[in-house]
Amino acid sequence: MNKQLIAYVLMGILILVLIVLTIFPGMIHAIKDSGITGNSVEDKCIPGPGYTEESWREHMGHHPSMYEECFL
């Protein structure tokens, strides 16, 4: 019974994570850009997948404290 309960809990956690990432797809970029993952400043300033240069600059403008190094 314990193995079955553990399997259900793990599946529930996986489903919850997938739902959250589906609802908030930009969260992946926010975590990556926050510096938690150890990305360098150069990586933070380069447009992410699916962004044009102009749309990435607009996105960075919405978060000036996170991207202040990119505007120097």
Structural domain range at position 62:
2-71
Q: Given a cut of 90, is residue 1 above it in pLDDT?
A: no
Into how many domains does the chain fold? 1
Instruction: Say if residues 42 and 23 touch (Cβ distance below 8 Å).
Output: no
Single pTM value for the model: 0.43
Q: Which residue has tokens 């360098």?
A: 40
Q: What integer pLDDT is reported at residue 9 of this predicted model?
A: 96
- Taking the C-alpha atoms of residue 16 and residue 40, their distance in angstroms, rounded to an integer, is 30
pLDDT over 70 (residue 72): no
Output the pLDDT for position 4: 93
pLDDT in tens, 10-68: 999 999 999 988 888 777 777 766 666 555 556 778 887 888 889 888 888 888 888 88
CA–CA separation, 60 and 63 (whole Å): 5
Contacts of 55 (CB under 8 A, 6+ apart): 47
